[in-house]
Amino acid sequence: MRTFLKAVLPALVLTSTARGQSAPAGGAGTFVKEFGTMWTFDAPPLGYWKSQYQFEPSAAWLESARLSAVRIPGCSASIVSNRGLVMTNHHCARACITAVSPPDSNFQALGFVAKDEASERPCPGMTADQLQSITDVTARVRGAVTAATPPARVAQRDSAIAAIEQACNREAGATCQVVAFYQGGQYSLYRYRRFTDLRLVMAPEEEISFYGGDPDNFTFPRYDLDVTFVRIYENGAPLRPANHFRWSATGAKEGDFVFVIGNPGSTGRLLTLAQMHYLRDVQYPATLEAFAEQITAFKELAARGETERRRYENNIFSLENSQKATKGYRAGLLDSAIMARKAAFEKDFRARVMANPGFKGQYGAAWDNIAKAQQELALFAKEVRFQGFGGSAQLGLAGAIVRLPQQAALPDEARLPAFKGEGLERVKANLLRAQTIDTASERVLLTAQLRMAQRNLPATDPFLQAALAGRTPEAAAAALLSGTRLASTEVRTALVDGGAPAVSASNDPLIVLARTINALATRHAMRALRLNTTISANAELIGQAIFAAYGTSLPPDATFTIRISDGIVRGFPMNGTIAPYKTSFYGLFARSAEFDDQPPFRIPERWKAARDRLDMTAPLNFVSTNDIIGGNSGSPVINREGQVVGLIFDGNIESLPNRFIFTDEVARSVSVSTRGILEALRKVYGAGRIADELEGRD
Amino acid sequence: MRTFLKAVLPALVLTSTARGQSAPAGGAGTFVKEFGTMWTFDAPPLGYWKSQYQFEPSAAWLESARLSAVRIPGCSASIVSNRGLVMTNHHCARACITAVSPPDSNFQALGFVAKDEASERPCPGMTADQLQSITDVTARVRGAVTAATPPARVAQRDSAIAAIEQACNREAGATCQVVAFYQGGQYSLYRYRRFTDLRLVMAPEEEISFYGGDPDNFTFPRYDLDVTFVRIYENGAPLRPANHFRWSATGAKEGDFVFVIGNPGSTGRLLTLAQMHYLRDVQYPATLEAFAEQITAFKELAARGETERRRYENNIFSLENSQKATKGYRAGLLDSAIMARKAAFEKDFRARVMANPGFKGQYGAAWDNIAKAQQELALFAKEVRFQGFGGSAQLGLAGAIVRLPQQAALPDEARLPAFKGEGLERVKANLLRAQTIDTASERVLLTAQLRMAQRNLPATDPFLQAALAGRTPEAAAAALLSGTRLASTEVRTALVDGGAPAVSASNDPLIVLARTINALATRHAMRALRLNTTISANAELIGQAIFAAYGTSLPPDATFTIRISDGIVRGFPMNGTIAPYKTSFYGLFARSAEFDDQPPFRIPERWKAARDRLDMTAPLNFVSTNDIIGGNSGSPVINREGQVVGLIFDGNIESLPNRFIFTDEVARSVSVSTRGILEALRKVYGAGRIADELEGRD
């Protein structure tokens, strides 16, 4: 899996706005399945675990589990030996693997095994954060918010958060973050110990770590050794951690109760029905239309020859992958059974709010406010999509050139978000920097954009008239792009330096188009901004209402902070038959044979050579019902004894709808088995040293 | 695949009624994809093949292919050596394999390999029919139909057909059948040479022939060696056939253009939209509800203990399989894109009919007549389902006992179909015969039936009132079944012999219930009969109209007679990724390992022992886009050189909707590879003798 489980927007959690609401008002013990099982460590659902699994972890069990798990940039990881060995996914350690490759080699393709500790290679810039404590700071944040206007309140809140974080960061070795849960229903200070000396120990070939490539991405059965080991060093020596997960040499078996401990990045389970309908009916269809057009465009390019095929195949794969993910997210929103659960919850929740006079006044209008704003957004969604500067990098540059003097002349608060504060200088710097423009893809992508615009807008639309001027999309794109000189840094610099007069005087066809459409585009952008601000302010109220009504008995949306999710190792019904709970080394060789060992189903030579040594029945990957999402990549899967049995690296395609509503009938998390990892370390990679360390034999 | 590809109703083709319509009126060259590619040998689509595949078979090629294929009871097969070796599916040769097993052994479980010809074991009653000629007899059949009333016309037609068949059968060695195509649009005399001495040569273990069992049935990827070899003998010696398929030792590869030659049993592609809507909205939902209730009932029984589990697991598997198939058929009818194609065809076709004054008068009203009858059927479909004698074998016997004297008193033409002619005596004989009644399953099944009745009918329904009498379904079933004595042959005999007075006097609770409900049940049955007769008469008109409008350019619905279907060997998109076009021996061992070698995923010991000798990358099964259905089991897959490359044994789950509308985006036929068969024969079964013969080395 390439992009799915890496967190995309961890910073998001710090941008939401707090609104006055005091501590939770009970509801403890409620378990609402569709909110999933991403529990925080300061509110573990002990009663639910006890009733569901007859499992009652001690405080020490939970503390040890928390301290054995670490967060790395964009991903999760775990400490798995008493010498600071850390396990994560290969796709989470790419930056390190690439950085430590010598100039004449490529560990990404070839893999890497350090023969001893001295050969372990420092990963530049890589860090690992271990959560030390969680402190509720809701009252402190709220207490600082006294102003009347929303912008002033946001500023007060942000500065209170910054003050709390700064005070905490002054403690020796602490790295601190205030996390907003329930969209501002609760604020917690997360204090981490940050490790900064991590060294690469072992990485397999990308062919086996990402076996099956984009086609198999987000699916199961699966055959990926998506693992990489790094080691934490402290003062030049391997860390001797106080806590680490012990290793299970046998892995998981069907029916096992297991936990996943990691940092899920972002979910949308608190979204209202109206927000989900907008995604389903407006936003995702638009995204999918664009993906389809862009894929067609790149395929057209790739068909021109072998060079072009190689050049664009990654664009195609990446778009197809995004298309697959988006279709998956949307599938849940289109599923009437899933949406009925959501509707039932919302109905019940709104009824509870309306039945409590305090809640009613504070939160009662939020759902309708959101619904109204979404409806208005839908009215001009097509105009926002097309009456702008999309479809071509150079048209984007033209838009920025036209806007720059205009936005600079406005007071900060009246500007478009990208031009606020330091944004203005960033936009300018970007325009003055040399750009790589791929003229071939510019042509097909702008054509695709104009084709979509023509399909979606009436012929009288001002953008269409300005852009097409009676020409076909193909002819218009060709004329606009062959006429423009904006690929030249000198040309752009002259326009930026010349300011408004230079822009007005330009007859560069893209500048002319951008100039013509800019007033309209800016009006749409400001209107959408206003509506989205309304939506997020009301969404925060709803988050607070959930916390007020249910407390921590419902897990908050994902925040790229540590969670513990319970689940069961279990196969699932698939395509008329049963998918097994695990795959085997046999299965890996089978998939290779069945695709004639062609990429992305080729097996590395080292594996072919090892074939006769391998226990072909050993488990390679397995699935469980744990609740994960992007950011959970690299999370350990542990059993009730606290032993690590697996390593999360993906979800199956049936799990994509879990972004909005959690279900576990067919949705599964996909992990590498610790049994399979040992088999590969010992028999494929000759890495007995690492295997012994994992098994505690060193 | 257990039941899917065996033809169920070959006799059906002889029961449809001919209506006056002369020879086809052109339309040649039209190719309408949704009618599929089940071509007859007297109207091969040479132009379509040429344009689609640049393939122009000679008359000799076609004749040799036709003579190399044979039909066996319920299935298809092919002659694959110059010594009369015949290949079919294991599941098509069950009767023979069981019959030739010695008392102390079971070839079904253990497999069988004849070490030499002398050891080949005669299959009692098994025949193979080789089609010698096809003669159009439409004019002869139609010419004999001169009467005015429908029943008299049917009798004239049937006697004309019987006369044609009898005359043909008098020729030495000929076995003849008149086949009605296009529901009576065309009649053809099929003259076969019948072989009656077939001997078992080789059969694998059922564990490998039906590997994956019911779960994997109707799915792909797949790993079944569903093959059996028999040999045709003539005058005590192996047949030296004039024609046989040569064997491809390499099998098929992706993209290959291939034909399937076999005997598809039954399709419903000529059904009107109204008929499909009835299936989709009334009949299949009722069937599925019943399957679900029965599965629940048997699972409840099976949960009682190990003996019960063994006793009922086959019932459960078989019901789940039927459920899977029915859901698959219905899936196509629920697919709006598929139904839109059907609607577009029907609209176009009806417009053509209405535009031709002759056609309009003859056929124009047929669609509306069918729609009206289906609507009326839907009105009392629930009453037909429940106000009768279903859900219990003993209640069925009670119904027959009550009806017998009553129906016997009526003139033949006024009777229910089951009691017409010799039917009356059959019903009586059945009642007087000893019956095996399973009281445990009777109880849960009748409960399930009453539960469904209660769910579907108003509380005031007379059947419900008579059957439940205020009790729960459980209590009513218990009381009815513990009170009845109908399991006793003596009790039934006394009631049958005693006639109407005995029936009236009986206070057996099931007889009382049957007596109470009989008048209502009979009225429903007669009304449904009238409507179904209307539907079939009008469906025949539509079949004739299709033939009149399109001629043989559209293949007729399946008739369990020989067809040749074109297709391409090709993988398909599946569950977010790609299914390969083939599976491998590795894949077989993988599936076993991934289910811990538990049934139905266990590999026979002989295979485990052979593991290290096998080429694990050899293809085992593969898929292609050929158009097949029940009856095609055992069909050879041949390449353009006329070599056999595979053996059809199933379709994937995505192909189930093809029953009504053919598509080939994801629907695939599933075959055993000839390469895999050779590998298994030589390395698992020590059957080099057979492998050499197939390869022409003997």
Residue A413 in contact with residue A151, Cβ under 8 Å? Answer: yes
Sign of CA dihedral A256, A262, A266, A270: positive
The residue among A61, A84, A425, A371 whose CA lies nearest residue A238 is A84
| Among chain B residues, CA nearest to A577 | B215
The residue among A308, A557, A616, A362 whose CA lies nearest residue B592 is A616
* Residue A505: per-residue pLDDT: 97
* Cα-trace Rg, chain A: 27
pLDDT tens track for A132-141: 999 999 999 9
Please indicate if any CB of chain A lies within 8 Å of the CB of B334.
no
Please indicate if any CB of chain A lies within 8 Å of the CB of B191.
no
pLDDT tens track for A116-152: 999 999 999 999 999 999 999 999 998 999 988 766 7
Structure tokens that stand for A128 in this block: 């690992």
Q: Do A617 and B584 touch (CB under 8 A)?
A: no
* Residue A431: per-residue pLDDT: 97
pLDDT tens track for B73-91: 999 999 999 999 999 999 9
pLDDT tens track for A60-95: 999 999 999 999 999 999 999 999 999 999 999 999
Number of Cβ pairs < 8 A linking chain A and chain B: 78
* Residue B539: per-residue pLDDT: 87
* Residue A16: per-residue pLDDT: 26
Closest approach of chain A CAs to the CA of B572, in angstroms?
Answer: 12
Facing A576 at nearest CB: one of B219, B583, B616 = B219
Closest approach of chain B CAs to the CA of A647, in angstroms?
Answer: 18
Q: How far apart (Å, rounded) are the C-alpha atoms in residues B395 and B408?
A: 20
Structure tokens that stand for A330 in this block: 């949307």
Q: Do A594 and B582 touch (CB under 8 A)?
A: yes
Structure tokens that stand for A262 in this block: 């990691």
Given its phi and psi angles, is residue A391 left (phi above 0), alpha (psi -120 to 50 degrees) or beta?
A: left
Please indicate if any CB of chain A lies within 8 Å of the CB of B652.
yes
* Residue A12: per-residue pLDDT: 26
Mean of pLDDT over chain B: 92
Write out chain A residues lying below 8 Å of B221, CB-based.
594
- Does residue A332 surpass a pLDDT of 50? yes
- Does residue A17 surpass a pLDDT of 80? no
| Among chain B residues, CA nearest to A587 | B590
Q: How far apart (Å, rounded) are the C-alpha atoms in residues B492 and A200?
A: 84
Q: Do B593 and A575 touch (CB under 8 A)?
A: no
Question: How confident is residue B315, by pLDDT bands cut at 50, 70 and 90?
Answer: confident
Structure tokens that stand for A70 in this block: 């670490």
Query: Average of pLDDT values for B510-519?
Result: 96
Residue entry with tokens 């998390």: A669
pLDDT tens track for A368-408: 999 999 999 999 999 999 999 999 999 999 999 999 999 99
Question: How confident is residue B599, by pLDDT bands cut at 50, 70 and 90?
Answer: very high
Q: What is the dihedral of CA A286, A291, A296, A302, to 10 degrees?
A: 160
Q: How far apart (Å, rounded) are the C-alpha atoms in residues A306 and A308?
A: 5
Residue A419, SS3? Answer: helix
Do you find a cis peptide bond into B600, omega within 30 degrees of 0?
yes
Residues paired with residue B637 on neighbouring β-strands, in sequence order: B260, B646
Structure tokens that stand for B463 in this block: 């059947």
Burial B435-471 (b: 16+ CB within 10 A, else e): eebeeebbbbbbbbbbbbbbebbeeebebbebbbeee
Q: Do B591 and A580 touch (CB under 8 A)?
A: yes
Q: Do B586 and A584 touch (CB under 8 A)?
A: no
Structure tokens that stand for A698 in this block: 């060193």
Query: Average of pLDDT values for B196-208?
Result: 97
Structure tokens that stand for B591 in this block: 């599936």
Facing B594 at nearest CB: one of A218, A577, A587 = A587
Q: How far apart (Å, rounded) are the C-alpha atoms in residues A580 and A571?
A: 5
Q: Do A215 and B578 touch (CB under 8 A)?
A: yes
Facing A594 at nearest CB: one of B218, B575, B587 = B587
pLDDT tens track for B240-262: 999 999 999 999 999 999 999 99
Structure tokens that stand for B285 in this block: 């939902």
- Does residue A26 surpass a pLDDT of 50? no
Q: Do A577 and B617 touch (CB under 8 A)?
A: no
Facing B576 at nearest CB: one of A218, A584, A593 = A218
Facing A593 at nearest CB: one of B215, B617, B653 = B617
Q: How far apart (Å, rounded) are the C-alpha atoms in residues A47 and A57?
A: 11
Q: Do A583 and B576 touch (CB under 8 A)?
A: no
Question: Going by C-beta distance under 8 Å and a sequence separation of 6 or more, which residues neighbour residue A641?
Answer: A246
- Does residue B9 surpass a pLDDT of 80? no
Question: How confident is residue B16, by pLDDT bands cut at 50, 70 and 90?
Answer: very low
* Residue B150: per-residue pLDDT: 67
Structure tokens that stand for B481 in this block: 């079944």
Write out chain B residues lying below 8 Å of A580, CB-based.
591, 594-595
Among residues 36-95 of chain B, which lie with CB inside 8 Å of chain A?
none
- Which comes out higher in pLDDT, residue A641 or A18? A641
DSSP class per residue in A595-644: TTT-TTSPPPHHHHHHGGGS-TTSEEEEEE-----TT-TT-EEEETTSEE
Give the DSSP H/E element, type plus range, for residue A302. Answer: helix A284-302
Q: Do A591 and B575 touch (CB under 8 A)?
A: no
Burial A121-145 (b: 16+ CB within 10 A, else e): bebeebbbbbbbbbeebbebbbebb
Interface-testing mutation among A211, A572, A586, with chain B (most B C-beta atoms within 10 A): A586
The residue among A72, A82, A86 whose CA lies nearest residue A230 is A86
Q: Do A576 and B653 touch (CB under 8 A)?
A: yes
Q: Which long-range contacts (CB under 8 A, 24 or more apart) does B150-159 make?
A: B150/B17, B150/B537, B151/B413, B153/B17, B153/B18, B154/B17, B157/B17, B157/B18
Q: Do A593 and B577 touch (CB under 8 A)?
A: no
Please indicate if any CB of chain A lies within 8 Å of the CB of B650.
no
Q: How far apart (Å, rounded) are the C-alpha atoms in residues B79 and B634?
A: 11
- Which comes out higher in pLDDT, residue A29 or A51? A51
| Among chain B residues, CA nearest to A612 | B612
Please indicate if any CB of chain B lies within 8 Å of the CB of A219.
yes
Q: Do B576 and A653 touch (CB under 8 A)?
A: yes
- Does residue A8 surpass a pLDDT of 70? no
Please indicate if any CB of chain B lies within 8 Å of the CB of A149.
no
Percent of the residues in chain A that have a pLDDT greater than 70, as a whole number: 95
Q: Do B575 and A212 touch (CB under 8 A)?
A: no
For A684, other C-beta atoms within 10 Å of its C-beta total: 24
* Residue A184: per-residue pLDDT: 83
Q: Do B616 and A593 touch (CB under 8 A)?
A: yes
Please indicate if any CB of chain B lies within 8 Å of the CB of A583.
yes
Residue B507 in contact with residue B484, Cβ under 8 Å? Answer: no
Residue A230 in contact with residue A522, Cβ under 8 Å? Answer: no
Q: Give the predicted TM-score (pTM) of the model.
A: 0.89
Give the DSSP H/E element, type plus range, for residue A228. Answer: strand A228-234
Which phi and psi angles does B158 have, rounded to 5°?
-60, -35
Residue B563 in contact with residue B39, Cβ under 8 Å? Answer: yes
pLDDT tens track for A447-505: 999 999 999 999 999 999 999 999 999 999 999 999 999 999 999 999 999 999 999 99
Write out chain A residues lying below 8 Å of B218, CB-based.
576
Query: Average of pLDDT values for A180-208?
Result: 95
Question: How confident is residue A568, by pLDDT bands cut at 50, 70 and 90?
Answer: very high
- Which comes out higher in pLDDT, residue B554 or A32? B554
Please indicate if any CB of chain A lies within 8 Å of the CB of B219.
yes
Closest approach of chain A CAs to the CA of B662, in angstroms?
Answer: 19
Write out chain A residues lying below 8 Å of B594, CB-based.
221, 580, 582-584, 586-587
| Among chain A residues, CA nearest to B222 | A577
Query: Average of pLDDT values for A30-47?
Result: 90
Question: How confident is residue A413, by pLDDT bands cut at 50, 70 and 90?
Answer: confident
Facing B577 at nearest CB: one of A215, A328, A617 = A215
- Which comes out higher in pLDDT, residue B414 or B163? B163
Residue A284 in contact with residue A28, Cβ under 8 Å? Answer: no
* Residue B26: per-residue pLDDT: 36
- Does residue B14 surpass a pLDDT of 60? no
Q: Do A580 and B594 touch (CB under 8 A)?
A: yes
pLDDT tens track for B476-488: 999 999 999 999 9
Among residues 586-625 of chain A, which lie with CB inside 8 Å of chain B?
586-587, 589-591, 593-595, 616-617
- Which comes out higher in pLDDT, residue A175 or A4? A175
Given its phi and psi angles, is residue B385 left (phi above 0), alpha (psi -120 to 50 degrees) or beta?
A: alpha
Lowest average pLDDT, out of A96-105, B19-28, B85-94, B399-408, goes to B19-28
- Does residue A357 surpass a pLDDT of 90? yes
Q: Do A219 and B595 touch (CB under 8 A)?
A: no
Residue A86, SS3? Answer: strand
pLDDT tens track for B609-666: 999 999 999 999 999 999 999 999 999 999 999 999 999 999 999 999 999 999 999 9
For A228, other C-beta atoms within 10 Å of its C-beta total: 28
Please indicate if any CB of chain A lies within 8 Å of the CB of B676.
no
* Residue B3: per-residue pLDDT: 43
| Among chain B residues, CA nearest to A652 | B576
Interface-testing mutation among A2, A320, A575, A650, with chain B (most B C-beta atoms within 10 A): A575
Facing A587 at nearest CB: one of B324, B590, B617 = B590
- Does residue B31 surpass a pLDDT of 70? no
Residues paired with residue B209 on neighbouring β-strands, in sequence order: none
Q: Do A219 and B576 touch (CB under 8 A)?
A: yes
Question: How confident is residue B100, by pLDDT bands cut at 50, 70 and 90?
Answer: very high
The residue among A552, A546, A581, A565 whose CA lies nearest residue A658 is A565
Write out chain A residues lying below 8 Å of B591, CB-based.
580, 587
Question: How confident is residue B540, by pLDDT bands cut at 50, 70 and 90?
Answer: confident
Residue B622, SS3? Answer: strand
Half-sphere exposure of A570 (CA within 13 A, CB side): 15
Residue B513 in contact with residue B467, Cβ under 8 Å? Answer: yes
- Does residue B137 surpass a pLDDT of 80? yes
Please indicate if any CB of chain B lies within 8 Å of the CB of A214.
no
Q: How far apart (Å, rounded) are the C-alpha atoms in residues B223 and B591?
A: 9
Interface-testing mutation among B574, B575, B653, with chain A (most A C-beta atoms within 10 A): B575
